[in-house]
Structure 1
């Protein structure tokens, strides 16, 4: 076994110096570990794991691949006003999950469901909030967000529904589909949006009162 020391020349002072160095390094390591744990607690586990390739303590350990849930959790932890379902989908796509999202759409809802069941997040209408952010918002602020989502999400959802349909749809058929995909959107908001989208020629309405994308 090789050694940096010639054992025939080791003195008591050498041994004591080596022991002191070990104690100093151990204390330094403990200090660094406390700092790392403080950072982990401050920025959140999901974000820390995404940033740090050595969270297990091994410098050459591969980083744990992010999951739907970890990406969604990190996003919600940094969104004081919550995020809508379309916004959460876009975040997953930007994170490289586009193909998985298309092939396994249920994973998206399951990941959100787990966060909700663990009381880490809360759903209101079509928006998901990290729990501490939700509790910090007033009723007026939440109502304003509800109104914003109804006004801005509804037209986008209608257009997407009509694009995915095999042919033109009547208003009642649009509502039947959106009850399943966007249950938080009221029927009155859908009727109003259909009218606006037809007037601005985003949609067209045929002689049978069926709608399609212009």
Structure 2
């Protein structure tokens, strides 16, 4: 078996594969020739039936599910659309954040600064994120906070923009953190650590975990 699949496959059956996407790898190809190396293209070389269901930002690591037939793709995609799935992320954010809370403000694409997004209270589509502090840490003398993030909606860059909006950007975020906050870690410290959904054939509720690499 190809080393990539050996290293990153978490589960596989007749309906779907669950993959640990590494940070720095696109989920789907970009628009230019230099952005064709991506997770789905690597998987298609090994399993031609691979079908996309959802995606993660290039710099985010963690759990992604890919269907292996059209019925499974339709079923699991519907679960995402109808919010029957549960997803949690772990992140390191800059500064000392306390307690838990909810960010409820829309996030939209900023055409003046691609690929950035920004909060826009006038946007009609909601963006909702629950957050909860796990523990406080330090990196090179700088306070950081380990948090659990639960996105209720799935807007592009939602978690990254919402943490910036709180005044605690994600450590290593080259788009939304300060230069100092970016340099605390060599990667974006955002990881999709837990995913649960119903099996598209049996209907059994499944839950998968992926160890946090930072």
TM-score normalised by structure 1 residue count: 0.31
Which is bigger in relative contact order (C-alpha 8 A, separation at least 6)?
2
Q: Which has the larger radius of gyration?
A: 1
Whichever structure has more helix as a proportion of its residues is 1
TM-score normalised by structure 2 residue count: 0.31
Whichever structure has more strand as a proportion of its residues is 2
